[in-house]
């Protein structure tokens, strides 16, 4: 039934849902706020998980980080499902255009064969790193506490799946199906990759969701993305005529720039909560940074040979400066 309604202005009884009003006052709220604050259960759980009887379904005790309010975390991008999906749809349009451009203009055929081989050797095993990151994103989302903290991790998980899939397409563009198989063999057996594979597999068994966030999203992604995509692909490869490769990985470059802001905000919020949190985070960041830097050294070598040490040192320095801004000294 559709009636003819005159436009009238009527006075609302309230502006938003109670949990949002309790936090920010009863005023018009954003979709991020209404879709995020206090929507996860915190009280009166009925049963303990049969898979983890020592904890409630959602339990602050799964991590050693202590927060008086887990909704102190805020995603600077204000991503809820809709905002996230629209942002990524736009980026995938651009990625599609870039891949199409490289493909349609036959740009790969003009690449220097040596450069192409190095690019394949460097980029393709990273499919598996991204796949591992997908698993870790799911872990933090499943076992973390509070929607403000956990929600970004389902986005991280799916972003990493997308990156693994983009890398697959790039592999097929640069090589063939066998190229993917060979890269997987390298990932499984070549010395150069074993440090990184061990790192990734070790993160799979981390039980503390916040430590996992540090190991995966802060330390590993924080060194790997700027090193591989900014410094090597956009810098070294592009200078050697590899601009088409840089076009195909633009998604990763943009993605890291964006997600880094969220990771920094998350670190900062937890670290400023208490000296205990800060000390714990500093310990974790230091430990996983050192391991990640060591694991990435032979990987960088594939692409830049003996310049690897210098590049890694530079990355670590930038990483430390970045973390210092987020309130963490390492």
254-273 residues near another protein, rule: CB under 8 A: none
Which one of 24, 57, 238, 287 is in contact with another protein (CB under 8 A)? 57
Judged by CB under 8 A, the stretch of 8-16, 209-217, 237-245, 294-302 that binds another protein is: 8-16
User: Interface with another protein includes 42 (CB under 8 A)?
Assistant: yes
Which one of 35, 146, 222, 226 is in contact with another protein (CB under 8 A)? 35
User: Interface with another protein includes 316 (CB under 8 A)?
Assistant: no
Q: What is the CA radius of gyration of the chain?
A: 22
Which one of 49, 66, 283, 317 is in contact with another protein (CB under 8 A)? 49
Q: Looking only at residues 64 through 103 of this chain, which bind another protein when binding is defined by CB under 8 A?
A: 80-82, 85-86, 88-90, 92-93, 95-96, 103
Which one of 23, 38, 253, 258 is in contact with another protein (CB under 8 A)? 38
Judged by CB under 8 A, the stretch of 130-138, 222-230, 273-281, 304-312 that binds another protein is: 130-138
Which one of 25, 48, 310, 313 is in contact with another protein (CB under 8 A)? 48
Q: Which is nearer to another protein, 13 or 239 (CB)?
A: 13
Q: What is the dihedral of CA 232, 250, 223, 112, to 10 degrees?
A: -20
User: Interface with another protein includes 41 (CB under 8 A)?
Assistant: yes
- The Cα 12–Cα 135 span in angstroms is 44
170: left (phi over 0), alpha (psi -120 to 50) or beta: alpha
**Contact call for residues 289 and 219 (beta carbons, < 8 A):** yes
Q: Which is nearer to another protein, 173 or 236 (CB)?
A: 173
**Contact call for residues 88 and 254 (beta carbons, < 8 A):** no
First to last CA, the chain: 65
Give the number of residues in contact with another protein, rule: CB under 8 A.
92
**Contact call for residues 236 and 303 (beta carbons, < 8 A):** yes
**Contact call for residues 233 and 242 (beta carbons, < 8 A):** yes
Judged by CB under 8 A, the stretch of 147-155, 258-266, 303-311, 320-328 that binds another protein is: 147-155
Structure tokens at 74: 């805020």
Which one of 59, 60, 131, 301 is in contact with another protein (CB under 8 A)? 131
Which one of 27, 50, 305, 321 is in contact with another protein (CB under 8 A)? 50
Judged by CB under 8 A, the stretch of 47-55, 211-219, 242-250, 272-280 that binds another protein is: 47-55
Residues with Cβ within 8 Å of residue 315, at least 6 apart in sequence: 223, 226, 227, 231, 293, 296
Judged by CB under 8 A, the stretch of 50-58, 272-280, 293-301, 318-326 that binds another protein is: 50-58
b/e code 113-136 from CB counts within 10 Å (16+ = b): eebbebbbbbbbbbbbbbbbbbeb
- The Cα 148–Cα 33 span in angstroms is 9
Which one of 65, 67, 121, 180 is in contact with another protein (CB under 8 A)? 180
């Amino acid at each position: 039934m559709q009636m003819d309604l005159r436009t009238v202005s009527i006075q609302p009884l309230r502006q938003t849902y109670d949990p949002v009003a309790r936090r920010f006052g009863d005023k018009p709220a954003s979709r991020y706020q209404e879709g995020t604050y206090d929507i996860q259960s915190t009280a009166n759980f009925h049963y303990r998980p049969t898979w983890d009887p020592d904890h409630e379904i959602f339990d602050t005790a799964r991590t050693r980080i202590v927060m008086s309010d887990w909704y102190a975390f805020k995603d600077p991008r204000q991503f809820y499902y809709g905002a996230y999906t629209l942002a990524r749809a736009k980026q995938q349009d651009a990625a599609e255009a870039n891949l199409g451009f490289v493909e349609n203009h036959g740009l790969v055929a003009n690449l220097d064969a040596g450069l192409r081989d190095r690019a394949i050797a460097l980029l393709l095993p990273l499919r598996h790193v991204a796949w591992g990151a997908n698993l870790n994103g799911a872990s933090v989302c499943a076992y973390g506490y509070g929607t403000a903290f956990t929600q970004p991790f389902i986005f991280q998980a799916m972003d990493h799946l997308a990156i693994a899939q983009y890398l697959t397409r790039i592999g097929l563009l640069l090589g063939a199906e066998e190229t993917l198989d060979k890269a997987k063999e390298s990932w499984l057996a070549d010395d150069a990759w074993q440090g990184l594979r061990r790192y990734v597999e070790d993160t799979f068994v981390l039980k503390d969701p916040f430590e996992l966030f540090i190991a995966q999203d802060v330390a590993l992604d924080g060194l790997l993305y700027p090193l591989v995509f900014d410094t090597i692909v956009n810098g070294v490869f592009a200078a050697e005529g590899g601009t088409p490769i840089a076009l195909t990985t633009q998604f990763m470059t943009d993605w890291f720039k964006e997600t880094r802001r969220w990771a920094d905000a998350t670190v900062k919020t937890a670290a400023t909560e208490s000296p205990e949190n800060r000390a714990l985070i500093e310990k974790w960041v230091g430990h996983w940074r050192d391991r990640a830097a060591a694991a990435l050294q032979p990987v960088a070598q594939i692409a830049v040979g003996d310049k690897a040490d210098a590049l890694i040192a530079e990355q670590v320095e930038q990483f430390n400066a970045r973390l210092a801004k987020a309130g963490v000294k390492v």
